[in-house]
Amino acid sequence: MKSPVSYYPEPRVLIYLAETGLWDDKIFGWGKVEKRDIAIGETPTHYVTRIHISDMDYWDKDDVRFSVVCVSYLGVHKSRFKEWVDLSIPKLDLSKFQQLTLF
């Protein structure tokens, strides 16, 4: 079975808006707060931040044991996305610096 997740080559940091759970009379809606998380991939509707794997055992009427493994992709809905955080290290132009000599 093909995975529904398109994984990123490297994890990316995203900023998204989460609800505070408190009503805000200024905006006449639920308050929002910015949060950061690490995304490892995406589906058509969500950015995947965690993978939860669980298993469950059960027995049929003849006492035959079956085991089921469930994979859940957890994350942030794309409608809550605000921006990506750039983690790249800027490259230095060393030609602007004079050569240092040690005495």
Pairing of strands 6-24, 65-77: unpaired
pLDDT in tens, the chain (103 residues): 678 899 999 999 999 999 888 998 888 888 899 999 999 999 999 999 999 999 988 888 888 888 999 989 999 999 999 999 988 777 777 666 666 555 5
Number of domains the chain is built from: 1
Would you say residue 99 lies in a domain?
no
* Residue 26, in any domain of the structure: yes
For 3-88, strand residue ranges (E) read 6-24, 29-42, 46-59, 65-77, 81-85
Q: 20 in a domain, yes or no?
A: yes
Question: Does 91 fall in a domain?
Answer: no
Asked whether residue 97 is domain-assigned, the answer is: no
54 domain-assigned: yes
In a domain, 103, yes or no: no
Residue 25, domain extent: 6-86
What pTM was computed for the model? Answer: 0.69
